[in-house]
Amino acid sequence: MLFAATIMKKIPFAKMQGSGNDFILIDNRRGILKGRDLSALAKTVCHRRFSVGADGLIVIVPPSSRKTANFKWRFFNADGSEAEMCGNGSRCAARFAMNRKIAPKKMAFETLAGLIHAEVKRERVRVQLTDASGLRLNMSVPLSSGIRTGHFINTGVPHLVYFTEILDAENVEAVGRETRYHDLFLPAGTNVNFVSVKGPRKLRLRTYERGVEGETLACGTGAVAAALVAAALGSASSPVEVLTKGGETLIISFTLKNGMFAGIELDGEAQVICEGDLFL
């Protein structure tokens, strides 16, 4: 009975990273995770030191209709919360799907934010995101350190952008946490980006991510938010190169006409770190 109680199920997984954001990916199209609480699973497997560790868990499931999508994903942050979208995660999911013959090089997949189109070109993956929404420029955000000017946009998930000339000196953890939970962004909260403009097509970015609850090495939807807000303010134009804290550069392309964004694309590397089995 003792041995029976300790028997664990073997679950194949891959770990991937995009610009320093790392993810655990599981193909659940045949129900290998049937009956499991996916939120609790995400918290378990994303816990660094006690498990594989990652910023998020991506679970691949069958699409609602094979006429419109090759697969559907469910994305969970490390804290177990389910998110509508993740830019770097979407690039990893696309390469994982092509590697596993779930989808061809050009594909579409379902997210809570809408249908995402992607194309895999060796280690680089380009994804076309859903349209951005909710742009609000020059918001006054009262913080314990004083009032800061922020700019809000939803690029699949909510983002606030602070422009700064002292990016390396910013207290991303403290200011990010206070902003993330600010009354202005209830009930969903917001991701928080600190951006330095380095030229008409070059930005540097640091991001406090909702769900990870801390600064990450990169954020795809945050990079998109930074580029779009910079363009709306006249500080940048497409294509925009965004240098992440992890040292990699993401390329954001879009069109801006009459204050509206269209054709938003995110391009960058997506790499397989390892593959193996989880025993859960």
Q: Judge if 43 and 23 occupy the same domain.
A: yes
Q: Judge if 137 and 254 occupy the same domain.
A: yes
DSSP for 56-68, please give it. Answer: EEEEEE--S-TTT
Do the domain assignments include residue 2? Answer: no
Name the domain count of the chain.
2
Beta bridge partners of 225: none
pTM metric for this prediction: 0.91
Comparing C-alpha atoms, which of 113, 119, 99, 112 is closest to residue 16?
Answer: 99
Q: Judge if 109 and 164 occupy the same domain.
A: no
Q: Judge if 142 and 242 occupy the same domain.
A: yes
- Alpha-carbon distance of 88 to 20, in angstroms, equals 9
Q: Which residues are catalytic?
A: 86, 219
| Mean pLDDT for the chain overall | 95
User: Rounded to 5, what percent of the chain is helix, strand, coil?
Assistant: 20, 45, 35
Q: Judge if 185 and 221 occupy the same domain.
A: yes
The domain in which residue 43 lies consists of 9-126+270-279
Do the domain assignments include residue 109? Answer: yes
DSSP for 119-173, please give it. Answer: EEETTEEEEEPPPPEEEEEEEEEEETTEEEEEEEEESSSEEEEEE-S-GGG--HH
Beta strands 21-27 and 10-18: pairing type? antiparallel
Do the domain assignments include residue 3? Answer: no
CB of 89 within 8 A of CB of 157? no
Token representation of residue 174: 């403290």
Phi-psi region of 101 (alpha: psi -120 to 50; beta: other; left: phi over 0): left
Q: Judge if 216 and 115 occupy the same domain.
A: no
Token representation of residue 255: 């069109």
Per-residue pLDDT of the chain (280 residues; tens, 9 = 90+): 344 445 678 999 999 999 999 999 999 999 999 999 999 999 999 999 999 999 999 999 999 999 999 999 999 999 999 999 999 999 999 999 999 999 999 999 999 999 999 999 988 999 999 999 999 999 999 999 999 999 999 999 999 999 999 999 999 999 999 999 999 999 999 999 999 999 999 999 999 999 999 999 999 999 999 999 999 999 999 999 999 999 999 999 999 988 899 999 999 999 999 999 999 8
Q: Judge if 275 and 219 occupy the same domain.
A: no
Q: Judge if 256 and 212 occupy the same domain.
A: yes
Do the domain assignments include residue 1? Answer: no
Q: Judge if 57 and 90 occupy the same domain.
A: yes
Q: Judge if 155 and 227 occupy the same domain.
A: yes
Do the domain assignments include residue 4? Answer: no
Q: Judge if 178 and 260 occupy the same domain.
A: yes
Q: Judge if 143 and 250 occupy the same domain.
A: yes
